[in-house]
Chains A and B, each alone.
Chain A
Amino acid sequence: MSTSDYDPACLPDLLPLYYRRLFPFSQYYRWLSYGGVSKNYFQNREFSFTLKDDIYVRYQSFTTQNELEKEMQKMVPYKIDIGAVYSHRPSQHNAVKSGTFQALEKELVFDIDMTDYDDVRRCCSAADICSKCWTLMTIAIRILDRALREDFGFHHLLWVYSGRRGVHCWVCDDAARKLSVAARSAVAEYLSLVKGGEETVRKVVLSDPIHPFINHSLSVVERYFQQYAIVDQDILGSKEIKFHNSLSVSYDLHFSCVSVKSNSKKGGQYFDKEIMLQYCYPRLDVNVSKGVNHLLKSPFSVHPKTGRISVPIDLKELDTFDPFEVPTISLICEELEKPRAEEAEEDDMKDKENEQEAGERRRIRDYKRTSLAKYVKVFDRFLEAMARSRKGEMLKKSGEIEKDSVFHIHLILAFTLQMD
């Protein structure tokens, strides 16, 4: 039994508990402060909340972790979005001279939504997902993760399950956060291969020369294609598979590849690749990635319709990730209530000493007792990597200055050692 039955009507009771005892505030604050390198980075960050009865409030900002906690516990948001880091505190944006309040930085983000694949999946449609079509997300993550790291040189990517029908990617590198609108849009276009809406039948068009990026992406698709498209989606069994009237498509099980025969004399030497890509290649919404001030659902927020927590995805376990195993708020609240016996009293004593520390300690103990634990660990590892990288940068910068002094110390040491 992995999930308790979730009922949206329980949210008003579950959310306060979640924000008081489970939401990983200290890691969250640590993330958004980015090591405190930039002054006021956290203070100038915009958050938006969707409250009960769909009341939406923007330009929320907080000065400390404590204030963030208190406000969230007070307002009990149903949804939380993260926006950009602005030139001034968002909560005071009305007091700023018009034109000077500007979005300065934000993570580069991507939103992959299963609904965008409705024309090529037969198992579900709209907001539904199932284990058969989830493979599309796996493919998307593999392709985009590789490209963002290898082609664009980014290192700090946080992949998050959106809670219902897709995944988000937060690219948190310094360089990524400073990208202009034009640069974000260029990255998104580079990563886009499937183009066209309702009226376009042939959505992927390839021509010579085939860019290395496309080849990399194809090799990922090929790995999953047979199981996903031929077996699970049974695309060949579908009468709906339509590319051109002149094409006849079959799948060669021996060579594991799509075989396309065309009656038309026109080009189309890459029809087989195009078909695979049209069925499997990630579909991004460029508009989400383009805007510096675009607001995106926050990791660890709850999805009101499914109750699932937006959890980070561990890429090392990507092939076994199951969206239906992701804990719901009801489950983790339930797990919280389970009696703990002996430990309880000792800890309560310690807690009386220092309220805030106590609160945090309790919270850390709390989420560790729930299914949320492993996902917070993924987040911790992500934060660690960023911290190490920041340290590395700083060492590099001061490295030149330090080198001389270190050299002198070595000399002295060597000298003194010799004397012995």
Chain B
Amino acid sequence: MQFPGRRKKLIGSSQNDLYDHCLQFYGQPPLENISLTEFETFAVERLKLLKTVENLGVSCVKNSEQYTKKLDAEISKFFFNKEDGISEYEKRRKDHISHFILRLAYCQTEDLRRWFIQQEMDLFRYRFNDLHSKHKTDFLHKNNLKYETVSAEEKKSLQDKLIASSYGLSGTKVEEHDVYKVPFQDALDLVRTRKVYLLAGNAYIPHHEIVTIVLNDFRTRLSKALAMTARSLPAVQSDERLQPLLSHLSHAYVGQDYSIQKNIGKISLEQIDALSGKSFPLCMRHLHKALRENHHLRHGGRMQYGLFLKGIGLSLEQALQFWRSEFVKGKVDADKFDKAYAYSVRHMFGKEGKRTDYTPYSCMKVILSNPPSQGDYHGCPFRHSDPELLKQKLQNYKVSPSGTNQILELVKGMHYQLACQKYFELTHNVEDAGFSLNHPNQYFTESQKLLSGGRDIKKEVDMSQRSQENPASVTRPSQANSKQAHEEMGDLDSFFQDE
């Protein structure tokens, strides 16, 4: 099926057939040609949406007013089209295509799959619940969910039992609304918690609970699909146009990347010690301390910390001085440093080899790639440290016991960036960080802003401006975006080829 330029003229049957409901199970992959730009844009925008879903899911109570408002706003943004508005068909098409692209990026590891499934489920749940009752039933029918409705007589005879088994069910509700009969294997969440009436192997589910069942189905299908996608991934990855894009997506930080250095030279080397305690995120504070104590850091640590320092504004000369002075205190003499390690520092600044200007690592990258082993100090302490050790460290850094517990709870729930955000809030003595942490350099910038009293409320605006900011400051025409992306991808390429 191809839908080239004629798209706008296509109303009526074929459009409706393809997307006959605003929601879908993403059963069929899209079968059309699209441009690389659209490919990337769709994917990146859906990723932003999913990240919002993730953040809201932990910071707000699901279905609270705050949650609903914010998620609604983000969904509208996703479907927003700067031109004269977007047709229903185009919305559904974007939904469809973007989901499938992200499958390619998120099928590779257990961690990525789990994350993707969780956010897609939360998004689906929200959108399904938002549907009108009639549209809910419509959706079930269109998707062959063989959930029989229970006859009126049967409902009557089972009424008391139904009311006693399901939360929030009253006599009138049973009479007025449908009750679905579903094999118990399809309603495991309700069976497990005994929140449903069971008879002869069937679960009797009231209308308002049907979403749990649908979600179960959704999760199973998506899980299977991702496993299959992972198997066919090598074929996709061999396409040179797609491989860097997909890598980018799964490791990507969607937001400012701190590749363009601002404030170069504004920080002096003497300030670093003090700054590490005040404005560095825990991972960098940890690395700095290790460097000071051991007068050495291994490759992973040098990359993570070195790039961070570049991001906060250290110039190449400063960086060389910084590393040399520290290494020389250890087992490395000045000559050896100049021969071996200096090269590596210059490499980080794009002055050697491919001359790629490396970008500082985002949180996602630190958390997901290159886990530390014995003798390493890099990584994310919330992700890679043993909770007991983390607790001790926090106590040493004078974090209150209740604060420490909050952090440990977040860690237990695998919300590492939120844990770091909480660390920010506790060490800066604020209720709300005021930003969604995604990047160690962001932590630094926000911290400095706060400490210098110029707390910027327009964080949202900042974030959305980033894509326009960078090209503007580099004064290149519209190619800027793709060139930018290309450079980042180059960086990631070499990351995988690095010593």
Contacts and interface: CB of A to CB of B under 8 A. Distances in A.
Interface of A: 150-154, 175, 179-180, 182-183, 185-187, 189-190, 209-213, 215
B201 A182 contact: no
Given A179-B185, A183-B185, A183-B188, A151 B164 contact: no
A212 B195 CA distance: 11
Contacts of B189: 186
A154 B201 contact: yes
Given A151-B198, A154-B201, A190-B194, A212 B165 contact: yes
B161 interface: yes
B132 interface: no
B191 A187 contact: yes
A190 B192 contact: yes
B201 A152 contact: yes
B106 interface: no
B164 A210 contact: yes
B1 interface: no
Interface of A is mostly: helix
Given A209-B163, A209-B165, A212-B161, A185 B192 contact: yes
A358 B185 CA distance: 46
5 contacts: A151-B198, A153-B199, A175-B201, A185-B192, A213-B198
Contact of B188 (A175, A182, A210): A182
Contacts of A179: 185
A150 B184 CA distance: 13
Interface of B: 161, 163-165, 167, 184-185, 188-189, 191-194, 197-202
A151 to B, nearest CB: 4
Nearest to B200: A153
A131 B165 CA distance: 36
Contacts, number: 53
Contacts of B165: 209, 211-212
A154 B184 CA distance: 12
Given A182-B188, A212-B161, A189 B193 contact: yes
Given A183-B185, A211-B164, A212-B161, A153 B201 contact: yes
Contacts of A152: 184, 198, 201
Contacts of A186: 188-189, 191-192
A175 B201 CA distance: 10
Nearest to A176: B201
A151 B193 CA distance: 14
Nearest to B188: A186
Contacts of A150: 199-200
Contacts of B185: 175, 179-180, 183
B189 to A, nearest CB: 8
B218 to A, nearest CB: 15
A151 B201 CA distance: 6
Contacts of A211: 164-165, 194, 197
A309 to B, nearest CB: 33
Contacts of B194: 189-190, 211, 213
B356 to A, nearest CB: 38
Given A186-B188, A186-B191, A187-B191, A209 B164 contact: yes
A406 B488 CA distance: 74
Nearest to A187: B191
Nearest to A182: B188
Contacts of A151: 198-201
A210 B199 CA distance: 16
Given A150-B199, A175-B185, A209-B164, 19 more contacts: A151-B198, A151-B199, A152-B198, A153-B200, A153-B202, A180-B185, A182-B188, A183-B185, A183-B188, A186-B192, A189-B193, A190-B194, A190-B198, A209-B167, A211-B164, A211-B197, A212-B165, A213-B198, A215-B164
B160 to A, nearest CB: 8
A171 to B, nearest CB: 12
A215 B185 CA distance: 23
Nearest to A149: B200
A371 to B, nearest CB: 37
Contacts of A153: 184, 199-202
Contact of B197 (A175, A185, A212): A212
Nearest to B160: A212
A-B complex: 8 closest residue pairs judged by Cβ atoms: A153-B201, A186-B192, A151-B198, A153-B200, A186-B188, A189-B192, A209-B164, A186-B191
Nearest to A214: B194
Contacts of B161: 212
A172 B188 CA distance: 20
Contacts of B193: 189
Nearest to B201: A153
Contacts of B192: 185-186, 189-190
Contacts of A183: 184-185, 188
A158 B198 CA distance: 22
B171 to A, nearest CB: 13
A176 to B, nearest CB: 10
A210 B161 CA distance: 10
A228 B167 CA distance: 34
Nearest to A192: B194
Contacts of A215: 164
A213 B190 CA distance: 14
Nearest to B164: A209
A211 B163 CA distance: 9
Contacts of B163: 209
A211 B193 CA distance: 11
Nearest to A173: B201
Contacts of B197: 211-212
B196 to A, nearest CB: 9
Nearest to B192: A186
A179 B185 CA distance: 8
Nearest to A215: B164
Contacts of B201: 151-154, 175
Of B161, B185, B200, chain A has the most CB atoms within 10 Å of the CB of: B185
Nearest to A183: B185
B467 to A, nearest CB: 42
Contacts of A185: 192
Nearest to A213: B194
A213 B204 CA distance: 14
A204 to B, nearest CB: 13
Contacts of A182: 188
A187 B193 CA distance: 10
Contacts of B202: 153
A213 B192 CA distance: 13
A212 B185 CA distance: 19
A299 to B, nearest CB: 25
A219 B192 CA distance: 22
A86 B191 CA distance: 27
Contacts of A210: 164
A190 B185 CA distance: 13
Contact of B164 (A175, A180, A187, A212): A212
A212 B160 CA distance: 9
Nearest to A208: B164
Nearest to A189: B192
Of B167, B191, B193, chain A has the most CB atoms within 10 Å of the CB of: B191
A274 to B, nearest CB: 16
A71 B25 CA distance: 52
A89 to B, nearest CB: 26
A150 B158 CA distance: 14
Contacts of B191: 186-187, 189-190
A210 B164 CA distance: 6
Nearest to A152: B201
A150 B197 CA distance: 11
A401 to B, nearest CB: 24
Nearest to A148: B201
A271 B19 CA distance: 55
A186 B216 CA distance: 13
